[in-house]
Amino acid sequence: MNKLIDVAKALAESHRKADRKTTDVLLSPDRTGQEIRLVEVSEAAPTTNEVIPFRFGADPASGVDYPSVVILLSTQEWQDVITGMLKLPHGWDQRNMVSL
């Protein structure tokens, strides 16, 4: 079984390959340690001023042993999160995020 951080890094790399305009991928720690939470910042993402989490189930056959949640933000939206103008879901704190 893969460790969560290793799976998160593999997902981040895969998503960067799919979207070459991804500037940042950040892991938001899940207090249960059973879910991968990624915030992806892309110059290709439209600015909608909405934070929408996309949920995916685990896929052990593909090496993804954990369910994941991905939030895709434009660079402007990420700046708005940093300044507090836009909020991430409850339990997601940008101060505790790890860059992947």
Number of separate domains in the chain: 1
- Whole-Å CA distances, 62 to 29, 58, 59: 22, 9, 6
User: What is the CA angle 22-23-27, rounded to 5?
Assistant: 90
Asked whether residue 1 carries a pLDDT value surpassing 50, the answer given is no
Strand partners, 36: 68
What is this structure's pTM? 0.92
Domain that holds residue 89: 4-99
Residue entry with tokens 């300044």: 83
* Domain containing residue 87: CATH number: 3.30.460.10
Residue entry with tokens 């290709």: 44
CB count, 10 Å around CB of 48?
Answer: 11
Report pLDDT digits (tens) over 82-96: 999 999 999 998 889
> Residue 94 corresponds to which amino acid?
Q
